[in-house]
């Protein structure tokens, strides 16, 4: 089995989901900067930024874990 293959709910799917969520939050922040009725709520921008950091942190953890798994699988394949 190719070591890059995995089931749909695996690490790659979670990382892609995290990046999509970060993209969504970033787009919302951009819109909030430009929309007239949203400029009065600066704390929302801060909250959105914290959420981006939180989701990026989670995605980074998943990515680091996946990297370790790949290295391990690759080493095993080389030995075999």
Partner 1 sequence: MTNTTTAKRPCRAASGDEGMPAPFLYQHEDGRYGLSFGPARFAKGVPAWHRVPLDIVEPAPAESNNAVSSLLAAAHIVFGDNPWNVLLAIDAASQTLLWLETLFFVIRELNERGNEKIQVRHLADIGSYIAERAASNAEQSHDEIKASIEAAEAREES
Binding site for partner 1 (CB under 8 A): 17, 20-21, 24-25, 27-28, 32, 35, 37-38, 41, 43-44, 47-48, 50-51, 54-55
Taking the complex as a whole, the smallest distance from the CB of residue 60 to partner 1 amounts, in Å, to 15
> What's the CA gap between 49 and 67, in Å, rounded?
26
Other Cβ atoms less than 10 A from the Cβ of 10: the count is 13
Instruction: Kindly state the smallest distance separating residue 59's Cβ from partner 1, in Å.
Output: 12
Distance in Å, CB of 78 to partner 1, minimum: 37
């Amino acid at each position: 089995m190719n070591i890059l293959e995995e089931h749909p709910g695996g690490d790659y799917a979670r990382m892609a989901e995290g990046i999509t969520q970060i993209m969504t939050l970033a787009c919302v922040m951009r819109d909030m900067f430009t929309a007239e009725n949203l400029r009065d709520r600066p704390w929302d921008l801060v909250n959105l930024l914290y959420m981006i950091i939180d989701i990026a942190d989670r995605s980074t953890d998943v990515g680091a874990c996946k990297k370790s798994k790949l290295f391990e699988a690759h080493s095993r394949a080389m030995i075999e």
